[in-house]
Chains A and B, each alone.
Chain A
Amino acid sequence: MTQQPQLNRSKLPLSGRIVMFFIRHIQHAMASMGELWRNPLSSLMTMAVLGVSLSLPAALQVLVKNAETVTASWNSAAEISLFINEGRSERTIQSLITRIETYPEVSDVNYINRDQALEEFQSLSGFGEALAYLDENPLPAVVTVTPSLKYSSPAGARQLLGKLEQEAEVSFGRLDIEWLERLQAVVKLLERTVLAIAALLVLAVVLVIGNTIRLAIMNRRTEIEVMKLVGATEAFIQRPFLYTGIWYGVIGGILAWMIINLLVWYLDGALAELLGLYGSQLQMQALTFTELGQLVALASFLGWLGSYLSVRQHLRAIEPS
């Protein structure tokens, strides 16, 4: 016996094997679902844990998303004020404005002449009476420039300001972006925190599913032994466990989505009131159906990963004896 004959891997023809492969997958997926259905209490507990664990990163995602829309609307409010040198004629100022309007970085230009500036100052400052005593209008003419969207970031706006200050008519420019920079730093910090917490919770999800699957494997130890004895491959034995993990993820993801939308609904009233005080019309955004899809896809992947890691570790250890 020098030559090793090939092991007969299957008694079925290829076409039959391919068809049965899919049928088995569907059967296993359904059977795993049925298994969860039969033990609703214990599986519901696991799913609830997953739902809560997933809802936290998802809630943070909602927070970041809403913070972004808020800061985006503030970003576009960034304005550059250019104070014009004294003694320039209306004509030179008008030509300056036309010049600035052609800048690609600029989306809008407004001109406030000296008289308008005085009027505005009188009505807003409350020093109206005192100003009347002055012989001459002390205020300079102001050109306000709104940068285009691309240049509305602090760095971009600052760059634009430098360019505008090169103009001969401009005495100096002012850009109030310090608060914007601080806000962006806070948002960045928030995003980082969200990412770190999300990573930890995602790890928790994988571990919870891994442990649940480990218990399921232990519970079915004899069955696994028998299956190995009658010639089941490891792929065959692990499949139902992998599907169980995926189902856990799917349902946990849907639960998380529901939790988030409840949370948003609960917070929306309070937030509207707060934003109303700041004169903002923003509405809190919940998770869309696309995001539900993404959440469920991520959760089912995590479910698969958790059960795969568990199955790899524990299924091999079970051997018939």
Chain B
Amino acid sequence: MIRFEQVSKVYPGGQKALSDVSFHLQRGEMAFLTGHSGAGKSTLLKLITVIERANAGRVSINGHDIAKIKRSDVPFLRRDIGMIFQNHHLLMDRSVFDNVALPLVIEGFSHNEIKKRVLASLDMVGLYGKERHNPIMLSGGEQQRVGIARAIVNKPPLLLADEPTGNLDPKLSMDILRLFETFNDAGTTVLIATHDLGLIARMKYRTLTLKQGRVLGGEELSSHVNVPAQ
């Protein structure tokens, strides 16, 4: 699903963010991406979502070589990736319903279809009945779940989460991770970037550790990953 081959990224200022990163996340897999801040987690996620492009090496998402994707085709690639952000990136002047509906509106679904899917998605994250609220009226954990509902509403094959438990207490964090597990059980590939090592330790998923732009033990770890049958 995600394949990095000797990928390097240097920002225009000369700051080296990733060097020679290689790993392969298979379809249906769930994995963590860890490392200190500044280790290159965000850069790696940005390369996957084509917010940034690699200077060297090759990034393939869902079988598409990113380097060959035209600028005008980037939106269509992003529709296959559900993204969850630490700061939620919600539209505060719109209702929860409108926020979650956004990817469907963009894809041009009919009103009835949108309603059905948004409510199902909110139900899945436990926010059913709050669709008329504004995100500003919700707690941090609830806002995060609005973001998750938006990420899964168009059933993307790949889910990326950047510090999804960043500001949450351990109980809520665990709930969110359980939620990701259910999506993973349904066949979605999940990659979660987090620095919450305690959380990772309690779960048995593959972990990619970034240190100063390099992957530590990425390939060895893949030997004892639990890959669901495809």
**In the complex, are the beta carbons of A20 and B102 less than 8 A apart?**
no
B62 CB → nearest A CB, Å: 8
Which listed residue, A7, A11, A319, A321, touches B107 by the CB 8 Å rule? Answer: A11
The contact string, 1 if C-beta is below 8 Å from chain A, for chain B 18-32, is 000000000000000
Which listed residue, B69, B79, B102, B110, touches A226 by the CB 8 Å rule? Answer: B102
B225 CB → nearest A CB, Å: 21
Whether A225 contacts B89 in the complex (CB less than 8 A), given A4-B68, A230-B102, A320-B51, comes out as: yes
Interface residues of A (CB under 8 A from B): 1, 4-5, 7-12, 16-17, 20-21, 24, 222-223, 225-234, 236, 319-321
**In the complex, are the beta carbons of B110 and A5 less than 8 A apart?**
no
**In the complex, are the beta carbons of B76 and A227 less than 8 A apart?**
no
Contacts of B96 in A (CB 8 A): none
Whether A7 contacts B76 in the complex (CB less than 8 A), given A1-B60, A229-B49, A319-B51, comes out as: yes
Contacts of B109 in A (CB 8 A): 12, 20
The contact string, 1 if C-beta is below 8 Å from chain A, for chain B 52-84, is 000000001001110011001101111110010
Once A and B bind, how many residue pairs between them come within 8 Å at the CB atom? 78
Whether A228 contacts B75 in the complex (CB less than 8 A), given A1-B63, A4-B65, A4-B68, comes out as: yes
Contacts of B91 in A (CB 8 A): 222-223, 226
**In the complex, are the beta carbons of A230 and B110 less than 8 A apart?**
no
Asked if B103 lies at the interface with its beta carbon under 8 angstroms from chain A, I say yes
Asked if B198 lies at the interface with its beta carbon under 8 angstroms from chain A, I say no
**In the complex, are the beta carbons of B73 and A7 less than 8 A apart?**
yes
| Chief secondary structure at chain B's binding surface | mixed
Task: Give Cα A132–Cα B142 distance, bound, in whole angstroms.
Answer: 115
Contacts of A319 in B (CB 8 A): 51
The contact string, 1 if C-beta is below 8 Å from chain A, for chain B 135-178, is 00000000000000010001000000000000000000000000
**In the complex, are the beta carbons of A10 and B108 less than 8 A apart?**
yes
Q: Which of B89-123 contact A (CB under 8 A)?
A: 89-91, 102-103, 106-110
Task: Give Cα A228–Cα B77 distance, bound, in whole angstroms.
Answer: 11
Task: Give Cα A226–Cα B106 distance, bound, in whole angstroms.
Answer: 12
Whether A229 contacts B78 in the complex (CB less than 8 A), given A1-B65, A234-B72, comes out as: yes
> Beyond A232-B106, A319-B51: 16 further Cβ-contacts under 8 Å?
A1-B60, A1-B65, A4-B68, A7-B73, A8-B76, A12-B107, A16-B108, A20-B109, A223-B91, A226-B90, A229-B49, A229-B89, A230-B150, A231-B78, A231-B79, A233-B76
Contacts of B107 in A (CB 8 A): 10-12, 231
Contacts of A320 in B (CB 8 A): 51
**In the complex, are the beta carbons of A231 and B63 less than 8 A apart?**
no
B11 CB → nearest A CB, Å: 11
B92 CB → nearest A CB, Å: 9
Contacts of B60 in A (CB 8 A): 1
Contacts of B64 in A (CB 8 A): 4-5, 7
Closest B residue by C-beta to A3? B63
Contacts of B63 in A (CB 8 A): 1, 4-5
A212 CB → nearest B CB, Å: 20
Interface residues of B (CB under 8 A from A): 3, 49, 51, 60, 63-65, 68-69, 72-73, 75-80, 83, 89-91, 102-103, 106-110, 150, 154
Task: Give Cα A8–Cα B62 distance, bound, in whole angstroms.
Answer: 11
Task: Give Cα A227–Cα B105 distance, bound, in whole angstroms.
Answer: 10
Contacts of B80 in A (CB 8 A): 8
A239 CB → nearest B CB, Å: 11
Contacts of A20 in B (CB 8 A): 108-110
**Which of A1, A227, A230, A236 has the most chain B CB within a 10 Å cutoff?**
A230
Contacts of A232 in B (CB 8 A): 75, 106
Which listed residue, B51, B72, B76, touches A321 by the CB 8 Å rule? Answer: B51
Task: Give Cα A320–Cα B49 distance, bound, in whole angstroms.
Answer: 10
A190 CB → nearest B CB, Å: 49
B80 CB → nearest A CB, Å: 7
B177 CB → nearest A CB, Å: 22
Task: Give Cα A40–Cα B200 distance, bound, in whole angstroms.
Answer: 53
Contacts of B77 in A (CB 8 A): 7, 231
Contacts of A7 in B (CB 8 A): 64, 69, 73, 76-77
Task: Give Cα A72–Cα B12 distance, bound, in whole angstroms.
Answer: 69
B64 CB → nearest A CB, Å: 6
Task: Give Cα A4–Cα B73 distance, bound, in whole angstroms.
Answer: 13
Task: Give Cα A132–Cα B51 distance, bound, in whole angstroms.
Answer: 106
Closest B residue by C-beta to A233? B75
Closest A residue by C-beta to B106? A232
A9 CB → nearest B CB, Å: 5
B140 CB → nearest A CB, Å: 18
Task: Give Cα A233–Cα B68 distance, bound, in whole angstroms.
Answer: 18
Contacts of B108 in A (CB 8 A): 10, 12, 16-17, 20-21, 24
